[in-house]
Amino acid sequence: MIRTNLRVLVPTSIFAGMAAIVLCFGIQGSAMSQASSKPDTPIPNPNAFDTLGLAYSQFQDLDAITGAFTGIPDSKNQQTVIDKIGVTQATEIVAENQVAYATLRQALQQQYAAPPAHTLAATFPYLAHDRAMARALSFDALLKERQGDWTGAMEDSLDALQMADLLASHGLLVHDLVSIACAAIGRRAAWVALDNLPYSDSMSAERRLETIISNRTPLFLTMANDQKCAETSITDLDSDPRTVDDSQILAMYDRYMARCEATAKLPYPAAKAAGDPPLPTDSVAGTLPPPPSTLIFRAVQDLTFDRLLMTSLALRAYSLDHQGTYPASLTELTPKYMTKLPIDPFGNGTAPLVYRNTGTSYLLYSIGPDGKDNGGAPFIHTNKDGTLTQRYCVPDDTGDIVAGVNYG
């Protein structure tokens, strides 16, 4: 395989640093665990993992792209990224990277599997590379928006979302968390492009996003795969004559993870009410992933933003198909504009997203983590430094997650 995966037999940091990763979008590809839950599963050929590695090696001026995003105000419209670097230089950067972009998009048509391992891994440098390429896709989208190529900008955004889901398809929590970060990077430009798409491209984008969402790996399966990784590591300790019998540690760990996985299968309100299971009362507790409530919240929030965007694309197509009017209810979108009614991920598992026709426009939202319909009043999250954002919330925030206002 092209990309490097350094392995060490040190069972002390299975999930070291993951809590910090979950709490923000500043995800770094280091100090993580990796293992294959199905070591006998053949590696796909061609493998998107290798193709993404090739794409990264072909990119030029990624540091310039990263620098352009640094310090930009937190808003849905990120055109200041292009202003910061200049249209001429931005155009040159995109032009010199056409081969790399083409290789990256080739990876999106392939299956993904990172190198299998049955012990712990010290570093995951390729995940930081993948995040950089998500920025490159967003950069291209923003330049296309500046040039009026709204369809191209939407395709770039969906490319970032699809790449994000490729990473998560390997089935480990670290890939899941980096996937959420990559999706957040790519999603913002889509909200701006959406209002300028023609009918056919709105329909095409909706169908593509619907497919991306339907292929997503459930969180409880990801947890199960991480459990198998840790089990292997704990079992390896048992075979070392310098260590004590770890059968009790393994049994307590398995019980804990079984409860985490069961909670992850519940609708969000039920999972929130269930709370986190008590940690095992031994040294293994220091190597556990973040509590399931944190992981579940991040996964549900990510899915919510995607479903709001998907539904907004369907509403855009409906409006263009009906002389600028919007449906009386979301049920009118199926099956022509959406294959099925969009369920609110923060709801009870069956309740759809909330929708109101306002005459010349519409209001579309999720009830959000507080579980209350706030009438479409969007959340405003206060960061630790006192700044405000409507990009992402935390479990204790109040307000709804409103399409086009809270932009994920």
237-275 confidence digits (pLDDT tens): 555 554 555 677 788 888 899 999 999 999 999 999 999
User: Could you give phi then psi for residue 378, rounded to 5 degrees?
Assistant: -75, 150
Element (H, E) at 387: none
With bands split at pLDDT 50, 70 and 90, how would you rate the model's confidence at 230?
Answer: confident
Greater confidence, 118 or 172?
172
Residues sharing a CB contact under 8 Å with residue 244, sequence separation 6 or more, in sequence order: none
pLDDT, tens digit, for every residue of 131-171? 999 999 999 999 999 999 999 999 999 999 999 999 988 76
Model's pTM, two decimal places? 0.88
* pLDDT tens profile 97-112: 999 999 999 999 999 9
Is the model more confident about 208 or about 14? Answer: 208
Q: Is pLDDT of 279 > 90? A: no
According to DSSP, the β-strands at 354-357 and 388-389 are unpaired
In degrees, to the nearest 5, what angle opens at C-alpha 227 toward C-alphas 222 and 232? 130
Do the strands 362-366 and 388-389 form a parallel or antiparallel pair, or are they unpaired? unpaired
Q: Residue 300: exposed, middle, or buried by beta-carbon count in 10 A (0-12, 13-18, 19+)?
A: buried
pLDDT of residue 249: 78
Instruction: Read off the pLDDT of residues 293-344 as tens digits, 9 standing for 90 and up.
Output: 999 999 999 999 999 999 999 999 999 999 999 999 999 999 999 999 999 9
- Residue 344, token pair as written in the block: 């609110």
- Three-class SS of residue 155? helix
Q: Alpha-carbon distance 15 to 287, whole Å?
A: 6
What pLDDT score was predicted for residue 258? 93
Task: Write down the pLDDT at residue 364.
Answer: 98
Q: Residue 284 has what pLDDT?
A: 65
Cis peptide before 46 (omega within 30 of 0): yes
Question: Tens digits of per-residue pLDDT, 74-89?
Answer: 888 899 999 999 999 9
**pLDDT at res. 80:** 93
- The rounded distance, in Å, linking the Cα atoms of 366 and 358 is 17
Confidence (pLDDT) at 10: 28
Task: Tell me the C-alpha distance between 309 and 229, whole Å.
Answer: 35
